[in-house]
Structure formats: structure tokens, C-alpha cells
Amino acid sequence: MGADPGTSPAGRVQVARAAFDSGSTRSPEWRRAQLCGLRRLLTEGARELEDALWADLHRSRTESQLTEVGVVLSEVSHALRHLGRWTRPRHVPLPVALRPATARVVPEPLGVVLVIAPWNYPLQLLLCPLVGVLAAGNAAVLKPSELAPHVSHVLARLVPRYLDAEAVQVVEGAVPETTELLEQRFDHIVYTGGAGVARVVMRAAAEHLTPVTLELGGKSPVWFDDDAHIDAAARRIAWAKFVNAGQTCVAPDHVLTTPERVEPLAGAIRRAVEGMWGKDPSRSPDYGRIVNTAHFDRLIGLLDGVLTPGEDVVSAGDSAGGAAGSAARLLSGGGRDREALHIEPTVVAMPAPDDPPAVRTPADTPALMAEEIFGPILPIVPVPDAAAAIDHVRAGAKPLALYVFSSSKRTQEDFVAHTSSGGVGLDVALVHAGIPTLPFGGVGASGIGAYHGEASFSTFSHLKPVLHKQLVPDTLRMVQPPFSRVRRALVRAATRRA
Ligand code: NAD
């Protein structure tokens, strides 16, 4: 970074703060103008953005519209439609003993919000939070991911053209720039990405007592038992898993089902994959690529940790990280091309976990089943029944999403009631993450806080309580000393009624 304080990360934060301090971002007109500007950026800049997404992730134009541009546009429309209601002070009732008085909750902007985005949906995950940040009247500093450089460059160019060039700053760069940003004081930080960096972000935020929203990941499981609808379910599972080559935070990580369903489900998933991306997905313009060689090597390591290339049945115990004496089987896919960063949609049948989840140790668990896969490899894990699947889910970290494809309403509700996850999809996967009326976020290890729609507005606002109790008549005297017998009785009666 050069010496110009206006373009250094710290300098950009100062510019954003000065814009916020000027008061300009608070007015309803400014908020609406920014949201309309964002909408124009997305529509007029659509082609450039789609080209950048293709260059970074091999994402087709249609898929870019569906999973990136369209999601942000629907957030913008939703915010514009509801902004009036969200920003209006909300009057609240008061206990009788406090009357006469009035109380309201007044939403006020927090200040300058830092948005740190990852590479996998580099547009959506930077701009969706921004919708809420602007709707709530804040200034913003946007940090796109350096691992999606084309999208990062296009946004750095377009954002100042369409949005308030002072109040909305873009800082491009990698660890040094983010580190410099994190040394500055923000009023809120939204970070989307892995748990390791989330700790760095939270530590830095703690220095300034800055609140954080952490949108993380995890191993989102699927339960399947709906034999009558196996093809429809398999198609939804396959689509959710293999879109963007599996690099989706809410993608199914693995499937839990009973042993006799493993093969039929894998067959249905294979047919679904072929239907969507053809016999050779490497030739499909609609199938994504792995973001870089480091992630490619990590994924192949996970797969080869349970399989030996060229063999479809191996003892996982023979390979690094495998569970002793257990066999993992390649059911479909497995093809890879490092130069093209291509990994075929792959389904692996895992051995049944012998021990109850509570006694399984990390050393017994292959890396494929221990860490978030975040790529196009789908293990199917046989378990005796839905209750065992629930135990399995409960034994792990709370996932970002959980999906249930079951013919039984009771089983669906058992998963909802007895497991904890960021969100749940019943007979559907992925889609809940793009709906502005549903809050989106993790729980436990999968994240802190939520956004989208009104949840964004609340996250990026301070909901300030304002109480007015007029001086005349001065009924507050009744609870002030000295406490005569009458007052004591009154206080007792009033506190019991309240
Ligand atoms: P990434 O590598 O792009 O990193 C995310 C951001 O952190 C980038 O802007 C990067 O510059 C910054 N960063 C990296 N190292 C840093 C450091 N040492 N100090 C400060 N900043 C640093 O993305 P990633 O972490 O590979 O993202 C993948 C993870 O994100 C997966 O776990 C996935 O599940 C999760 N994810 C979650 C969501 C969600 O909405 N919950 C969405 C997408 C991805």
C-alpha cells in the first residue's frame, strides 16, 4: 500500500468514518439512494460481474444470476419495500405502575461496519451484508476475498461509481491489508469464512469491544429415508452438493441413511448428476471448478485418505487417517484434473461407524468425516435409523444447515426438535439461505449472529429504548423514600402487578 492515507486501509476507514460522522448516511433518502445505486450496479454491471465470476470460479452466467446477483437483488427489493416499517420507531406498552409514560424503540445506525467476504460466493457474501448495512444507515468498508481476484477488482471499480464514494469504501488485498483493517476501530464486523480466521477477527474485535457477526461453516448433514421419492430427493441433494463444485457453505457435507439405502441413493444421485451436468461434467459449461490448487490438493487428500486411486474398495485403515479395518467404497465419480482444477462429482460409501458417536475419537475418524469437505465429494454414511442419525449429529459441532428428506413427518419434526443447526431444510437443501424473510446464520461452531432481510437491519442497528415519563404528575415519588406504610404497601402491590 502506498503512503497516501486516503488509499491505505486505515485511511479508507477514516474516510468512511468522516462520512458517517457528517450525518449524511442517516437520512431515509440516502439509504434509499444507496439501495437503488446497488440495484443499478448489479443490473448495469451484470455482464462484467458474470465475466469475473466465470474467470474466478467457472460459474455460468445463469448460475451467477441465480446464486449471486439474484440473491442480492432480492435482498435490495425486500429492503426497499420494508425500509419504512423497519426504520419507524416502535411504541411499546408499559407496566401500569409506570404510567403515565410512553416508551419507544428507536433504531439507530451503529457507525462504520467492516464486511470481510470469502471467495466461494464472492459477490453475494460481500453485498448481501452491505444491503443491511446501508438500510440501517451505516458507512461501510468492504473487504472482498483476494482468492476471487476478478470479482474483487470489478467491485473495487464499480462500487464508488454507483454508491456514495466516501461512505462505502472497498479495500482490496490479502492478509496484510485485512490485518491493518482489523487494527482499526469499527462499530460492527461481519466476517464470512473459515473458523481459523474467525478467531483472528474476534480477537481483533475484542480490542475495541466491537460486536461481530461470524458466518462460518461446518459439516451440514442430510438424513434420507424417503424411498417413494428417491429420484426427486437425490436430484435436490446432488444439486445442492455439487453446485459451485461443492464450495458452498450450506452444501450437504454428507448423507446419513440406513445401510440398505446407500446403494439405491448413490445410484439416484449418479443419475441426477448425469441429468444436470452430463456424462462428463468436465465438459459442462455449468459445472464449477475448484478455486485453486491448494484447495484441489486438500480435497484430493481427503478423498485419497479413504480411497486408493485406481481401486474402488480399500481398507481405509491402510491409508493415512483412515479408520482401522474399515472399508470405504467409491460409488461414482473420483475423476480429477489438477491443471483444470476439476474434480468430478464424487460419491463415497463410508463404513458404518462401529462405536456410538460419543466414544468415537478424532483419531478414529478419517479427515473426510472430521473436517468440512467444501468440495464435490459426498460421503454416504450408513446408520441404523433416524434416531442414530440424530445422535450422530448431536455428537458433532452444530452445523450451519441440516437437511431431512423423509417420508415421515414425525422424523422431520424429531430432527427439528432434537438437533441444533443454523437452519433446517425439510425436503429441500440450500434454498433457505437465499430467502430475505428468513434470518441466515450459524449457531455454536457454525457462527454467531444472523442477517438477511429484517435480521440484517436489526444486526446493523442499535435498537435504542427511549422512555418518557413526564414530571407532572410526579407519580415516581411513590417509590422514593421515605417509605411510609402506605408507600410500602403501594410498592409491594405495584411490583407484584408488574
Ligand atoms: P477466504 O480464504 O476467502 O477468507 C475469508 C476472508 O478472510 C478473506 O477476505 C481473506 O482475505 C480474509 N483472511 C484470510 N486470512 C486472514 C488472516 N490471517 N487475517 C485476516 N483476514 C484473513 O475464505 P475461506 O476461509 O476459505 O472460506 C471458506 C469457509 O467459509 C468455509 O468454512 C465455508 O463454510 C465458510 N463460509 C461460510 C458462509 C456462511 O455464510 N456462513 C458462506 C461461505 C463460506
Distance CA 148, CA 56 (A): 5
Give the 3-state secondary structure of residue 462.
Answer: strand
Instruction: Give me 380's grid cell.
Output: 454416504
At 144-173, the pLDDT tens digits run 999 999 999 999 999 999 999 999 999 999
Whether the pLDDT of residue 320 is over 70: the answer is no
Nearest CA to ligand 1 atom 11: 174
Whether the pLDDT of residue 415 is over 50: the answer is yes
Which atom of ligand 1 is closest in space to residue 146's alpha carbon? 11
> What mean pLDDT is predicted for residues 206-226?
98
Distance CA 28, CA 87 (A): 8
Q: Cα–chain-centroid distance for residue 408? A: 28
How far, in Å, from the CA of 22 to the mean position of ligand 1? 32
Which atom of ligand 1 is closest in space to residue 218's alpha carbon? 34
In the chain the first and final C-alpha atoms are separated, in Å, by 59
CA distances from 288 to 42, 342, 458 (A): 22, 8, 35
E-strand ranges in 290-432 read 313-315, 327-332, 336-337, 342-343, 346-349, 377-382, 401-405, 423-426
Q: Is the peptide bond before 100 cis (omega within 30 degrees of 0)?
A: yes
pLDDT at position 146: 97
8 Å CB contact between 224 and 236: no
pLDDT at position 410: 98
pLDDT at position 96: 85
How far, in Å, from the CA of 407 to the mean position of ligand 1? 36
How far, in Å, from the CA of 429 to the mean position of ligand 1? 22
Whether the pLDDT of residue 345 is over 80: the answer is yes
Give the 3-state secondary structure of residue 468.
Answer: strand
At 132-143, the pLDDT tens digits run 999 999 999 999
8 Å CB contact between 239 and 252: no
Work out the angle at residue 150's Cα, subtended by the Cα atoms of residues 145 and 154, and round it to the nearest 5 degrees. 95
How far, in Å, from the CA of 285 to the mean position of ligand 1? 26
Whether the pLDDT of residue 364 is over 80: the answer is no
How far, in Å, from the CA of 250 to the mean position of ligand 1? 14
Which atom of ligand 1 is closest in space to residue 147's alpha carbon? 3
Distance CA 225, CA 436 (A): 30
User: Beta 221-224 vs 212-215: how paired, if at all?
Assistant: unpaired
Nearest CA to ligand 1 atom 10: 145
Place of cell 462429482: 345
Place of cell 428468513: 438
> What mean pLDDT is predicted for residues 456-463?
98
Q: At what angle do helices 149-162 and 46-57 cross, to 10 degrees?
A: 160
CA distances from 205 to 167, 182, 209, 458 (A): 21, 7, 6, 19
pLDDT at position 352: 80
**What is the set of active-site residues?**
215, 249
Instruction: Give me 290's grid cell.
Output: 475448484
Name which of 86, 132, 107 is nearest 441 in CA terms.
132
8 Å CB contact between 177 and 143: yes
pLDDT at position 310: 57
Q: Cα–chain-centroid distance for residue 470? A: 46
> Which of the listed residues 124, 178, 183, 446 should we mutate to test ligand 1's pocket, taking the one with most ligand atoms within 8 A of CB?
178
How far, in Å, from the CA of 70 to the mean position of ligand 1? 22
8 Å CB contact between 250 and 431: no
CA distances from 167 to 19, 310, 334 (A): 5, 56, 48
pLDDT at position 494: 78
> Which of the listed residues 197, 296, 421, 432 should we mutate to test ligand 1's pocket, taking the one with most ligand atoms within 8 A of CB?
197
| Residue at 174: amino acid letter | A
Whether the pLDDT of residue 450 is over 50: the answer is yes
What stretches of 355-484 show up as alpha helix (H) in DSSP?
367-370, 386-395, 409-418, 453-459
Residues in the chain, total: 498
Structure confidence at residue 309 as a pLDDT band (50, 70, 90): low
> Which of the listed residues 145, 189, 190 should we mutate to test ligand 1's pocket, taking the one with most ligand atoms within 8 A of CB?
145
Nearest CA to ligand 1 atom 40: 215
> What mean pLDDT is predicted for residues 325-342?
89
User: Beta 188-192 vs 212-215: how paired, if at all?
Assistant: parallel
Distance CA 209, CA 447 (A): 18
User: Taking the C-alpha atoms of 38, 40, 46 and 52 in order, what is their torsion angle to the nearest 10 degrees?
Assistant: -40
> Which of the listed residues 57, 120, 142 should we mutate to test ligand 1's pocket, taking the one with most ligand atoms within 8 A of CB?
120
Give the 3-state secondary structure of residue 76.
Answer: helix
Partnered with residue 191 across adjacent β-strands are 116, 214
8 Å CB contact between 348 and 368: yes
At 111-128, the pLDDT tens digits run 999 999 999 999 999 999
DSSP state of 318: G
pLDDT at position 33: 98
How far, in Å, from the CA of 448 to the mean position of ligand 1? 15
pLDDT at position 322: 35
Residues framing ligand 1 (Cβ under 6 A): 116-120, 125, 143, 145-147, 174-175, 178-179, 192-194, 197, 200, 215-217, 249, 372, 374, 400, 442, 447
Nearest CA to ligand 1 atom 22: 175
Distance CA 185, CA 211 (A): 11
Work out the angle at residue 113's Cα, subtended by the Cα atoms of residues 109 and 115, and round it to the nearest 5 degrees. 140
User: Beta 401-405 vs 221-224: how paired, if at all?
Assistant: parallel
Place of cell 434420507: 224
Distance CA 277, CA 243 (A): 10
Which atom of ligand 1 is closest in space to residue 215's alpha carbon? 41
At 238-261, the pLDDT tens digits run 999 999 999 999 999 999 999 999
8 Å CB contact between 221 and 237: no
At 367-378, the pLDDT tens digits run 999 999 999 999
pLDDT at position 59: 92
Which atom of ligand 1 is closest in space to residue 441's alpha carbon? 41
Which atom of ligand 1 is closest in space to residue 143's alpha carbon? 9
How far, in Å, from the CA of 108 to the mean position of ligand 1? 29
